[in-house]
Amino acid sequence: MKFSDHIKLGIGFKFGSLLAAFGILATSLTGYYFYSSSRNMLASATERDLLTSTQVVGRNMKLIIDMIAEDSQLLAAIPVTSNVFNSPDELTAERDKKVLADTFAAMLTAHPEYFQIRLISTSQHGLELVRVDRNGKTLTRVLDANLQEKAHYPYVFDTLRLARGDIYLSDITINHEKGAHSGLNKPTVTVSTPVISSNGKKLGLIVINIDLNGLSRLLKSNLPSTYQLYLSNQWGDFLIHPDATQTFGFDKGKRILIQDSFRPVLSLIHGKGMNVVTNVDEGRQKQDGQVAAFVRLPFGDTIEKRFVILGLSQPLDNITRETTRLGWDTFQIILAFSGLALILSMLVSRIVTGPLNAMVSAINRFSKEHVISTLPLTRNDELGLLSRSFHDMQTQIMAHLSELNENRKALDHLTRHDTLTGLPNRRMFFDRLEHAIASSRRSGKHLAVLFVDLDRFKEINDTFGHAVGDKVLTNVAILLKSSVREVDTVARLGGDEFVILIDMIDDPQHVTTIVQKLHNLFQRALQIDGRDMHVYASIGAGIFPRDGKDANELMQNADQSMYNSKKDGGNTSSFHAFRSEETS
């Protein structure tokens, strides 16, 4: 039992463990793959989103600048602007300038991101004619001696090269132009357009000065608060940076370049692409936990091929948090599925090992009790096949076993019976005799042994042959058997010598009757091959316990009685002790 238990544990445990290990491995691998691909997807989605946002911000910037350009075009086109240059007298000129200044003021009121609007003359080294500055919350018109010469600024000489309606966008710089305005020493960009007379003469230009911080606020207004905005010029100098001290380094005599903080941006500066996203993993190490997207935007007229680089960054924390959550979820899923795999493998192991165990116990039962137990014979799988084969084997073994049994019984019969007559032989007779003596001793009843020896049987054999002799013996056997009770034993000791055990005799006198009856039977002729044949026998009897105290003695005495009868000429019977009662 212990042995089979051990086996059961072995198969089930190994099979289950293998299945569970496979299940857990598969789940873990799938989970890990899912995690890493999702993580990459998350990262690239973030990068894509960031890039899209940056492009949207870029488009917004272009829209805002276009709107400012329209404002400057409007101011350049209104008649009062040209009138300033063509006034017939000082007074009219002053009136026209006043009207224009009011218009500038109205526009500055409508656009808080405008610092300043000016009308600049082509002549007098680019002298300002009308200028309205924003000064904190108020608007100030700058007059007379405070007006300045601006011809040496690119926004003047470059704008004056343009045709009517064209727009010049200056570089983004720190405004160091002195004046009573909020824009002093502030980052700024100017949008300007020439004022051209009806005959094509370049009279001057309209310049709108824009607050870069205001522009940056406008751009950031629709972005999530975690996003940070960057802007650099075409050489990479930071113009907008979350840390204001990192901007306009060139204005303080040093260069703080975007490509030093975000290496991949160098490709945009060199014109090898229009956008770039700094890798998340790269960002983890280098960009202070930021992932950033940058786009190269055309800035100003297209001939000069000026551009700016606009960028948005997002803290990696958000992505890291998402990734951590994803990892934790994946871990939980792996755990759950591993548990499921464990349960399933246990079940499957049971399903498979159950029939195996049933077969093992069937084999055990068969080997111990030779009983064919029920097996899963109807299954269509290998187990069914195994069961059927095993069943066939069992049946065969059973058949062999019963055949062996039959043979053994036949052999047994052979050893205890006479082959010719089918009567018990000497050995069996002695067994029965011993047995009968034993029970006789217990019960106190008598038993008798009758020796029957055919007279002159040798002559029959010699005269008629052995075949006839054998038939005689067979007939005598039948004769003897039919003349005693079923319980009595008729045996052939050999040759023509028979012996009869008569058991459980109440009255020894009864034996005489039997002997007489036998004697009478021998007086009749036997029908052998259609021929009457007279066969006689000499009978000797011995009664237990009177004629012997054990089997041997009893037999000897009975044998002796039979010899006595034989000596008397045969066909007689005699008793051992009471010879006086013998008949003839």
Partner 1 sequence: MPMFPIICRLFATLSVSLALSLPAYAVETLRVLAWPGYADNDLVKNFEKRFDVHVEVSFVSSDDMLREKISANQGGDFDVFAANTAEMQHYISQKLVVPLQLSNIPNTAHQLPRFRNLQAIPGITRHGQVFAIPYTYSEMGLIYDRKQFRKPPTSMAAMWDPRYKGLVLAFDTSSHNFSIASLLLGGSPFQIEDKQFSKVAEHLIALRRNVLTFYTLPEESVRLFRKHSVALLFANYGSQQLKQLRDAGADVGYVIPREGALAWLDCWAITRGVKNQRLAESWINYTLEPSVSEELTRRQGLANTIEASPLIVKSDKLIWLRPVENAQRRAVLWSHIISGDLPEKFLAP
Measured distance CA(457)–CA(492) in Å, rounded: 14
Judged by CB, which is closer to partner 1: 13, or 235?
A: 235
Q: Tokens 């000429």 map to which residue?
A: 569
**Parallel, antiparallel, or unpaired for β 238-240 and 537-544?**
unpaired
Measured distance CA(45)–CA(265) in Å, rounded: 20
For residues 161-180, which are near partner 1 according to CB under 8 A? 171, 173, 176-179
**Shortest distance (Å) from residue 299 CB to partner 1:** 13
Q: Which helix (H) or strand (E) holds 133?
A: strand 128-135
Stretch of 100-108, 147-155, 460-468, 481-489 lying at the interface with partner 1 (CB under 8 A)? 147-155
Helix (H, G, I), strand (E, B) or coil at 384: helix
Judged by CB, which is closer to partner 1: 304, or 403?
A: 304
Of 160, 118, 123, 126, whose CA–CA distance to 142 is shortest? 118
Stretch of 64-72, 133-141, 149-157, 453-461 lying at the interface with partner 1 (CB under 8 A)? 149-157
**Shortest distance (Å) from residue 45 CB to partner 1:** 37
Measured distance CA(518)–CA(511) in Å, rounded: 11
Answer for the pair 372, 398: CB distance below 8 angstroms, yes or no. Answer: yes
Answer for the pair 336, 328: CB distance below 8 angstroms, yes or no. Answer: no
Q: What's the alpha-carbon Rg for the chain, to the nearest Å?
A: 67
Measured distance CA(269)–CA(232) in Å, rounded: 10
- The yes or no reply on residue 271 touching partner 1 (CB under 8 A) is no
Q: Tokens 């029959």 map to which residue?
A: 460
**Shortest distance (Å) from residue 186 CB to partner 1:** 14
- The yes or no reply on residue 186 touching partner 1 (CB under 8 A) is no
- The yes or no reply on residue 254 touching partner 1 (CB under 8 A) is yes
Stretch of 48-56, 120-128, 359-367, 429-437 lying at the interface with partner 1 (CB under 8 A)? 120-128
- The yes or no reply on residue 154 touching partner 1 (CB under 8 A) is yes
For residues 471-510, which are near partner 1 according to CB under 8 A? none
**Shortest distance (Å) from residue 19 CB to partner 1:** 59
Judged by CB, which is closer to partner 1: 146, or 373?
A: 146
- The yes or no reply on residue 14 touching partner 1 (CB under 8 A) is no
Helix ranges (H only) for 370-465 are 382-416, 426-443, 457-464
Whole-angstrom CA distances from 511 to 296, 500, 578 are 141, 11, 12
- The yes or no reply on residue 238 touching partner 1 (CB under 8 A) is no
Token pair belonging to 4: 């089979």
- The yes or no reply on residue 301 touching partner 1 (CB under 8 A) is no
Answer for the pair 541, 451: CB distance below 8 angstroms, yes or no. Answer: yes
For residue 508, the Cα-to-chain-centroid distance in whole angstroms is 92
Report how many residues bind partner 1 under the rule CB under 8 A. Answer: 28
Which one of 150, 241, 446, 576 is in contact with partner 1 (CB under 8 A)?
A: 150
- The yes or no reply on residue 152 touching partner 1 (CB under 8 A) is yes
Which one of 157, 390, 464, 578 is in contact with partner 1 (CB under 8 A)?
A: 157
**Shortest distance (Å) from residue 304 CB to partner 1:** 7
**Shortest distance (Å) from residue 213 CB to partner 1:** 20
Q: Tokens 């290990």 map to which residue?
A: 21
- The yes or no reply on residue 146 touching partner 1 (CB under 8 A) is yes
Which residues here bind partner 1, judged by CB under 8 A?
Answer: 125-126, 128, 145-154, 157, 171, 173, 176-179, 235, 237, 250-254, 304
